[in-house]
Every structure is written in C-alpha cells, then in structure tokens.
A and B are shown apart, each in its own frame.
Chain A
Amino acid sequence: MRHLKKYLPLAVMALMVTAVQLLTSYTGTAYYLTQLTITAYYGLLITGLCLLMGYAGQLSLGHTGFFAIGGYVSAALTTHDLTACRNDFFITLLNHAHLLISRHDIYGEPLITVKAWPACLAAIAAALLIAFIIGIPVLKLKGHYLAMATMGFGIIIFRIVMASTYFGEADGISDVPAFTLLPGLTVSGDFSYRTQNYYIAWGLILTGMFLLINLIDSRPGRALRAIHGSPEAAEAVGINTARYKLLTFVISAAFAAVAGVFLTHFNGGIGPSEASIMKSVRYVAIIAIGGMASLWGALSMGVILNFLSLRGVFGSYDDAVFGAILVLVMLFAPNGILRLPIWRKLNFRHRDG
C-alpha cells in the first residue's frame, strides 16, 4: 500500500505522457512534441535542483554551469575534428579503444571525432568531478555567501564558454551529431525521430523522478530533511551534514549534466545563452513557485512555464514574466502557490511533501 502511494504519481505521469502524445497525433499537432521534449530536459535539471534546494536547503544560482558543462563537453568532443592530430599517442590510444568515429560533416568533408557515448560519459564525469571539487568549499557557506559563490561559479563557466575558441565563443557549437543510445533509439532533432525523442526525454525524467522519490524516502532523504530543518540538530544526532550536502550537490549536478548532454544532441548545438545566469535564476524561480520541497510541484511548474516560454507566449517579456513571478511568489506565497491557503479552502486534499 505504501509503495502504491509512492509510485502512483509516476504511473499517472506515464499515462499522461502517453495520452499527450496520442492527443497530439490525433489532433495533428505533433509539432508540440518538440517543445515538450525540450521542456522535459529542463524539467530533469529542475527536479535535480529541487532536491538540492528543497530537501537539502542549499540554494544554487549556478546550476546552468553544470548543464553547460554537460552540453558543451559532449558537443565539443563529438564535433571537433581530430584528423590533424590522429597520429598523437593519446588519439591513437582512443582509436584503438574504439572510442573514435570517422564520419562526414554536412559539407561531405571527412572528420574524426569522439563517439557520442564516450563523449556523453566524459561530459557527465566532468560535471561530477567539478561539482565534487567546487562543492566541498561552496557548501560550507550559508545564505548570501552561498548564493554569491554559486552565482560566481555560474559566471565563470559562462565567461569561459564565451571566451574560448574551443567552445565556439559567442556562437556556441553547432552541427552536433545525433546520439544513438541503442540501435533504434536516437536522440536527434530530426523530424522523423520526433515521437521517439519525446518518449526518450520523458522516459528519462520518469527514471529521474523514480530515483529521486526513492532517495527522499530513504535514510539519506531523511537525513537531508533533518539538515534542512536544523543543521546543528542533525549534526548532534550523528548525521554527517557536509557529506550529505555534497552528495546532493553532486547528484543534482549529474541531473543537470545529463539534461545538458541530451538537449544538446536533440537541438544539434548549444550556445552561451544556455549557460547564462538568467537561466539559473529562472530555474530557482520555478522551484520557488512549485514550493521548494516539492518535486512534483517543481516539475509541474517547470513543465508549464518552460512550455509556455518556448511557445513564445510571453514574447519579449519572457525574463520580465519570470522576474515578476519570482517577486510575487516570494512576497505572497513563500511556500509555493500549491500551498496557498486558498487551496485548502477549496477542500483540496493537502499533503505535505
């Protein structure tokens, strides 16, 4: 019974995902699937960040940094031509390990690049490593200092991708090849792969939610909530607060990096705007609206707002809308709009996350 209650939302979500696909195909509006796929990848980042902010109580204003590391490393490895240095020892070694692939670019020129799978793993490993190294000192900080330090990290990543020619400066990296996960399953923005990619993205997010729900319901999850409530009390009952905070930070970085890798292959490129601080602020806004410690709240708000934003509903007021939402929610509903008293008055079933 307990398990049923825990996994019921996942099953409902899976049904809704399928229903939406069938609906779009029935009504001939399959073009919505493209935006829904992108939305899902942002949703993956948001749920990971929600674990960090809502459950471990650590603000991060630099999470686009991890998204960018994932996306950029994967994009750079799969697009940069290694033909010129193919006789180098290291490159030969990679070649013998079957990590390289020869293909032709869109102009028919031959080029040698890293295969998508090793590039993906390298990108995620890079993000994990950086999260680990950055996380140790950063998570010792609190309040304003934590906010500024994470924002500083985000700015550094943004400036690096803007300044280095390897990452394409202001143009970013384009012509990123498709990513064949398994034979028959390809992450690509190509028209014929649209339905498939919709399911890949939402399958990924379902997996992510499954992992997070189980994590929150386990011993580390309870430890995290204890830390959020009172770090001193948690420390007193023998919880290694620093270790759990770091663990959460690394997990949420991994979610962001995976989202970055997949979205980059889906879009066929990545630009510096994906690394901007404004995006990080936007993710924080979405989690605040969803109610901080509410994975489902954050995910649903993330899907709704990102989808509307991608459809261009807010026009040129896009950033302004998110700023206004941020201010209004924090002023009038600091626990998220799903926890406003009005819902209780409407006799909604109210459950604390």
Chain B
Amino acid sequence: MSTELFFQYFSAGITYGFLYAIVAIGFNIIYNATGIINFAQGEFVMLGGMTAISLYPFMPLPLAIVAAVIITTIIGALVEIIFIRWLDNPSVLRMIIITIGLSILIREAALFVWGESVRSLPYFNGNSISSINIMGANVSPQVLWVIGVCAVMVTILSLFFQLSTLGREMRACAANRLAATLCGINTRNRITLSFMLSAAIGAAAGCVMSPITYSQYDMGPGLAIKGFTVAILGGLGNSMAAVAAGLLLGLVESFSVMVLPQSYQEIIATSILLLVLFIRPHGLFGNKDTAALKEF
C-alpha cells in the first residue's frame, strides 16, 4: 500500500473516530449523572446537523451552528424534563425502552420536518476538493476542523468536570446521589444539565461532521451503536478512554475496507461490540472491580 493511500485511510479513520468518541462521551455524561444509557444520543447529532443546515440560508455559518447547538441543547433539556425527571426510581429496562421510544419519535419528527433527503452543510473552508498537503497526503481542511473542534470539546469537558464547582457537583451526583443531595446539591437540575451538555456536544459534532458525512434523518441509530461500542470499549463512564477507543474503532473501520467490502463495515463495528461485551465488559481501559460495582 502506498504511503499516500495509507494516510488517506488514516485521516478518514481519525475523522470518524472523533465523531464516535463524541457520541460516546455524550453517552458517558448522562450515564455518569444518572446511570442510564440514552439511546437517543445519535438523534442529538442528527438534530444538530439538520438544524444548522436549515438555518444556514438565513444567517452566516458560525451563527447557524451556534443556534443549532442551542436549539438542540434546549431539546435535550426538554427531553429530560418531560420524560425522565419525574420518574421515581425507574428500572433499567423501563429507561432503555423509554429512550428507544424517544429516539424513534425524534427520528420520525425529523422525517416529517426534513424528509428523507440527504443534506449537508458547506465546507467551513474552501470546498469539497480543496485540500491541505500533510506529509504527502491530501487532507481536506474540514478534517482538521473536525479534529480541532472535537479535541477542544474533550479538553474543555474534562477541565469542566475536574476543576469547576458545577462539574464537581455533577460528578458527586454520579458517585452518590443521596449524599450529593444532603450536601445541598440540586441533583435533579444537575441531571437536566447532563442531558443539555450531551445534546450540545452531540449537536456540535453533528455540525462539523455534516460536510463530510452528510446528514440524514435516520443517521442516529448507526451512530448510537458505534458510540456505544466506543463507550464500552473505553469503559463505560470514562471519557478520556473513549477518545482512544473512538480513534481505535475509526481506524479499524477505515482500514477494514482493504480486506472487506464497504457494505460489511457496520458488521465489523458491531462484531467488535459483541466481542468486547463477551470478553471484557469493563472495557479495554476499565477496571474490572470498579465495573462490578456499577449497575448496568
């Protein structure tokens, strides 16, 4: 294989890897705060991209993206307030089914609003054929945007959870909700915040990815299953490991094209998910003893 082709696959793998990592981090934020997996996570990514595309004709691109992120964040908050906030200690099965139902409803609403057509935002710099030469490989500037935006989001999030009072309060809710309540933390609001955060990063990722991957009303479930694979691969709840796992899955998928037809790509990701679940359910970087204490 030529070096050039190698870098081409490599950059594609990194790009998708970051997208999967962002979806996985969205899972992790909500999982950490509530102990539930939000099966509608992929729909946030779709909503972000689609809203920005619809707003773009009326305002400059950066404004459209910001507005799309804000709108999706509000939708994320509404989802939590309307459907989840008032449930009294729901079972895991019930939460799985509710979030799956919500993902169907959001998807069908998107189908109603935007139809089945595939859309995309314009490239942030240049167009679909402009490229930057890095080490002999031609890389679209949009790929750099994706990597940059995702890297910044991950850094800000980890700083937020480590350093800010609000972030620490959210981690306290995750560790022990009762104790957090006794310390005067409004746990319900922190959970709403976790939905807003994960909707926001999902939407932002949906916007930067849109020129490359395109946006369609039914892109959510595919992203969700890959994001979940990545979240498990890194160890559920561990956001930094999710980035590593995301890049790993992205690269494996991208290089798999060399041996298997494209149409089998999703089978590879899903097989990895099953294998990890069977062999190392606490993830590649997770701790088995810690994982045993969590409730899945």
Using a CB–CB cutoff of 8 Å, the interface residues on chain A facing chain B are 59, 61, 137-138, 140-145, 147-149, 151-153, 155-156, 159-160, 162-163, 277-278, 281, 284-285, 288, 317, 319-320, 322-327, 330-331, 334
Contact = CB atoms under 8 A, between A and B. Distances in A.
A319 B108 contact: yes
Interface in B203-225: 221, 225
Chain B contact patch, size range: 35 or more
A303 to B, nearest CB: 21
B83 A160 contact: no
Contacts of A147: 96
Nearest to B109: A320
17 contacts: A137-B277, A144-B92, A145-B281, A148-B273, A149-B278, A152-B225, A152-B273, A159-B266, A162-B263, A163-B261, A278-B104, A285-B101, A320-B104, A323-B103, A323-B104, A330-B98, A331-B83
Given A319-B104, A319-B108, A152 B96 contact: no
A322 B104 contact: yes
B101 A323 contact: yes
B37 interface: yes
Interface in B66-119: 83, 87, 90-94, 96-98, 100-105, 107-109, 112
Interface of B: 36-37, 83, 87, 90-94, 96-98, 100-105, 107-109, 112, 221, 225, 228, 232, 261, 263-264, 266-267, 270-271, 273-274, 277-278, 281, 295-296
A61 B273 CA distance: 15
A317 B228 CA distance: 28
B118 to A, nearest CB: 17
A330 B94 contact: yes
Contacts, number: 114
A324 B108 CA distance: 10
A156 B295 contact: no
Given A142-B296, A159-B267, A162-B263, 12 more contacts: A59-B96, A137-B278, A138-B278, A141-B277, A143-B93, A143-B296, A148-B228, A156-B267, A163-B261, A163-B267, A320-B104, A322-B104
Interface class of chain A by DSSP: helix
Nearest to B96: A147
A141 B105 contact: no
A83 to B, nearest CB: 28
A155 B94 contact: no
Contacts of B267: 155-156, 159-160, 163
Nearest to A145: B296
Contacts of A288: 97
Contact of A323 (B87, B90, B105, B221): B105
A30 B284 CA distance: 59
A286 to B, nearest CB: 12
Contact of A151 (B98, B101, B105, B225): B225
B83 A327 contact: yes
A142 B278 CA distance: 12
The 8 closest A-B pairs by CB, nearest first: A323-B104, A326-B101, A327-B101, A320-B108, A163-B263, A143-B296, A137-B278, A143-B92
A27 to B, nearest CB: 35
Nearest to B100: A281
A149 B92 contact: no
Contacts of B109: 320
A159 B263 contact: yes
Q: For A143, A285, A317, which residue has the most chain B Cβ atoms within 10 angstroms?
A: A143
A156 B270 contact: yes
B94 A148 contact: no
Contacts of A144: 36-37, 92, 96, 296
A143 B36 CA distance: 10
Contact of A143 (B96, B102, B264, B270): B96
Nearest to B108: A320
A278 B109 CA distance: 16
A331 B87 contact: yes
A140 B278 CA distance: 8
B226 to A, nearest CB: 10
B225 A326 contact: no
Contacts of B295: 143
Q: For B37, B264, B266, B270, which residue has the most chain A Cβ atoms within 10 angstroms?
A: B270
Contacts of A284: 97, 100
A49 to B, nearest CB: 14
A316 B112 CA distance: 9
Nearest to A327: B101
Contacts of A156: 267, 270-271, 274
Nearest to B90: A334
A242 to B, nearest CB: 14
Contacts of A331: 83, 87, 98
Contacts of B232: 145, 148
Contact of B277 (A145, A277, A325): A145
Nearest to A323: B104
B102 A327 contact: yes
B97 A330 contact: yes
Nearest to B97: A330
A142 B109 CA distance: 31
Contacts of B93: 59, 143
A133 to B, nearest CB: 11
Nearest to B218: A278
Contacts of A320: 104-105, 108-109, 112
Contacts of B266: 155, 159
